[in-house]
Amino acid sequence: MHAGLVIVAVSTLVFLVAPLFIVLPLSFSASPYLEFPPSGFSLQWYGRYFASSGWTAATLLSVEVALGTTALALLLGIPAAFGLVRAEFRGKGLLVAFFMAPIIVPYIITAIAVYFLFAHAGLVGTRVGLLTAHTLLAVPKVVIIVAAALKGFDRTLERASLSLGAGPLVTFRRVTYPVIRPAVVTAGLFAFLTSFDELILSMFITGPTAVTLPKRMWDAVRLEIDPTIAAASSLIIAVAVFVLVSTELLRRRSASIRIPMG
Amino acid sequence: MSDEARRRSWWEALRRLLPLAPAFAFLLVFFVYPLLRMIGLSLEAPGGPLDYYAAIVRSPLYMTVLGLTFRTALGVTVVCVLLGVPTAYVLARTRGPVRSVLLVAVVLPFLTSILIRTYAWMAILGRNGVVNQLLLAAGVVASPLPLMHNAFGVYVGMTHVLLPFMILPVYSVLTGIDASLLRAAQSLGASPARTLRTVVLPLALPGIASGAMLVFLIAIGFYITPAILGGPREIMISNLIEVQVVELLNWGFGAALAFVLLVATTGLMVVFDRFLGLDRLTV
């Protein structure tokens, strides 16, 4: 391979991961300022994070809303994925575009449109408001992930099950679901992360009463800039790494299940 | 077809579409309806329905910000192509555990919130940030360089967020290229550079084009990065919309700006679909 290409690629990859490796040491800094390399080791920012009711309440609210979003997005998204993949009809491309629209339209537009409606309906600053807004952004991702798995699904398995006398429900539970399970879990994790990370819609609809973790961080980045944010960030990165690793493990496990069958 | 058969096929079609209904209804109520309300609001200017739009066109500020938004998006897209395509190529040529590690390097930032990454860039690019401290310690500069609160900071931050959207589609196209084509080119006497130029790049072009369009589309709507890493002169249209709605409480005008952005994005999306096929990328 050309050396120039390798140099560009390696520098780009370093550029991509560098910020994540800067945040982690900063969160263990003994200095009260943003300074790198940190002048000493301390857990003070984690202490500050866990001692502050503002930060912990925001984290708990974010987890709560993200769990709700995951459930609702899976409930809406999985059937939609089945409908999109298995039904053939005119205008299907248009319908696919419609389901993808919430993550294609710039978030700021959705944010103010939803904000105007929620302000009118008294949903600003409520959990229900956050749950609804986050689900809007999570459903398209669930549809994409589950639909991709369904496209590769061999339907003769279902026909075999039906012809052997299993009802549609049993067939779904015993044949279809086990095959698409990894995709459903991945979709759930992405839905969780979508909500847990969401800032732009939340910025408008959290109000003063339902501050989520990203909103709390946003305020901190703009106003305080102390390493408590680094501690919070490191915890969130840990969640992301967990998601990534468990998805990869699941993928491998499902791959190893599929090999002996085929 | 008999009436009976027609009714049955109707019933069959309905039954197949039924699973789509809940999500469809949800999007209708919480996505389409709010957007229609927003457009309605943008037409309720005191002086006449199109007054807000006339004000946007007349005002040098808004036209400048719109121009700046598109220029920044285009610039960031070019940087992403220049860095992302070689990276995807090298990634596609690696094997085994090396490839897994490199892929994690692309996907991990993808999964980390934009806010955290932007904060990290503050720590890197700030007056007392990593880069300036290294440069000062090495004696390269006498006083800290202004690396953020300007266009440079915005480019760095946006490129960082958008690069994975460029790398992943190109990577997936490159790994799909039939290796026998490359062997054929080489056995016919083409040098590696020539094989790259005449075989690999043309085959990778759809991936490059879709990655670039995706990056450009997302870049137009950027809010967080310009707000934090940019200065007062790097405002993008999203920031302007937020100011109108939240700070000036000028909902109608904010709605009109948002509608302009929506039309621009939808227009690009249609072009995108015409040339590349949206459904090929997603479902």
Q: What is the pLDDT of residues A131-177, one digit of tens each?
A: 999 999 999 999 998 998 888 788 888 888 889 988 888 888 888 88
Neighbours of B49 (CB within 10 A): 11
**Contact present, B156 and A16 (Cβ < 8 Å):** no
Q: From chain A, pick out residues whose CB is under 8 angstroms from the CB of B192.
A: 1-2
Q: What is the pLDDT of residues B36-52, one digit of tens each?
A: 999 999 998 888 888 89
Nearest CB neighbour to B19, from listed A8, A82, A115: A82
Residue A86's identity, in one-letter code, is R
* Beta bridge partner(s), residue A29: A41
Give residue A261's pLDDT: 34
Give residue A229's pLDDT: 84
- Contact yes or no for A36 and B228 at CB 8 A: no
SS (H, E, C) A110-157: HHHHHHHHHHHHCCCCCHHHHHHHHHHHHHHHHHHHHHHHHHCCCCHH
Whether the predicted pLDDT of A257 surpasses 60: no
Give residue A22's pLDDT: 84
Give residue A224's pLDDT: 65
Whether the predicted pLDDT of B77 surpasses 60: yes
Neighbours of B186 (CB within 10 A): 14
**Contact present, B167 and B106 (Cβ < 8 Å):** yes
**B interface test, pick of A5, A27, A96, A108 with most B CB neighbours within 10 Å:** A108
**B interface test, pick of A10, A112, A128 with most B CB neighbours within 10 Å:** A112
Nearest alpha-carbon partner for A216 in A70, A69, A60: A60
Q: What is the pLDDT of residues B134-166, one digit of tens each?
A: 898 888 888 889 999 999 999 999 999 999 989
Whether the predicted pLDDT of B96 surpasses 90: no
Which of the four pLDDT bands, split at 50, 70 and 90, describes residue B278? low
Whether the predicted pLDDT of A258 surpasses 60: no
Give residue B213's pLDDT: 87
Tell me what the mean pLDDT of segment B276-282 comes to.
52
How far is the first Cα of chain B from the last one, in angstroms, to the nearest whole number?
Answer: 33
- Tokens 């500050």 correspond to A48
Give residue B197's pLDDT: 83
CA distance B113 to A199: 9
**Contact present, A144 and B283 (Cβ < 8 Å):** yes
- pTM, two decimals, is 0.84
Nearest CB neighbour to A101, from listed B31, B107, B133: B31
Nearest Cα of chain A lies from the Cα of B7 at a distance, in angstroms, of 16
B:132-191 residues touching chain A, CB 8 A cutoff:
133, 160, 163-164
Q: What is the pLDDT of residues B183-235, one digit of tens each?
A: 888 888 888 888 888 888 888 888 888 889 889 988 998 999 999 999 888 88
Q: What is the pLDDT of residues A81-103, one digit of tens each?
A: 999 988 877 778 888 889 989 98
Tell me what the mean pLDDT of segment B97-107 comes to.
86
Give residue A181's pLDDT: 86
Whether the predicted pLDDT of B124 surpasses 60: yes
The rounded mean pLDDT for chain A is: 86
Nearest Cα of chain A lies from the Cα of B66 at a distance, in angstroms, of 14
CA–CA distances in Å: residue A76 to residues A95, A110, A206, B210: 15, 19, 24, 28
Higher pLDDT pick, B192 / A79:
A79
Q: From chain A, pick out residues whose CB is under 8 angstroms from the CB of B133.
A: 35-36
Give residue A21's pLDDT: 85
CA distance A227 to A49: 10
Give residue A165's pLDDT: 87
Whether the predicted pLDDT of B6 surpasses 80: no
B14 to chain A: closest CA residue: A87
Give residue A124's pLDDT: 94
Tell me what the mean pLDDT of segment B24-31 comes to.
96
Tell me what the mean pLDDT of segment B252-279 comes to.
82
CA–CA distances in Å: residue B46 to residues A124, B52, B57, B61: 26, 9, 17, 21
Task: Supply angle C-alpha A218, A221, A224, rounded to 5.
Answer: 125
Nearest Cα of chain A lies from the Cα of B139 at a distance, in angstroms, of 17
Residue B31's identity, in one-letter code, is F
Nearest CB neighbour to B90, from listed A1, A107, A233: A1
| Per-residue buried b or exposed e for A89-104, using 16+ beta carbons within 10 Å of the residue's own CB | eeeeeebbbbbbbbbb
Tell me what the mean pLDDT of segment B237-246 comes to.
91
- Contact yes or no for A22 and B273 at CB 8 A: no
Q: What is the pLDDT of residues A19-73, one digit of tens each?
A: 888 888 888 887 776 666 777 788 888 888 888 888 999 999 999 999 999 999 9
Give residue A231's pLDDT: 87
Nearest alpha-carbon partner for A110 in B212, B242, B70: B242
Q: What is the CA radius of gyration of chain B?
A: 24
% residues pLDDT > 90 (chain A): 39
Tokens of B257: 């700006």
Q: How many CA atoms lie within 13 A of B212 on its CB side?
A: 17
CA–CA distances in Å: residue B57 to residues A92, A113, B50, B53, B67: 37, 22, 11, 6, 12
CA distance A186 to A149: 11
Give residue A36's pLDDT: 67
Tokens of A134: 């986050």
Q: From chain A, pick out residues whose CB is under 8 angstroms from the CB of B30.
A: 114, 117, 132-133, 135-136
Q: Is the peptide bond before B169 cis (omega within 30 degrees of 0)?
A: no
Give residue A32's pLDDT: 72
Tell me what the mean pLDDT of segment B23-35 comes to.
96
- Contact yes or no for B278 and A100 at CB 8 A: yes
Nearest Cα of chain A lies from the Cα of B142 at a distance, in angstroms, of 18
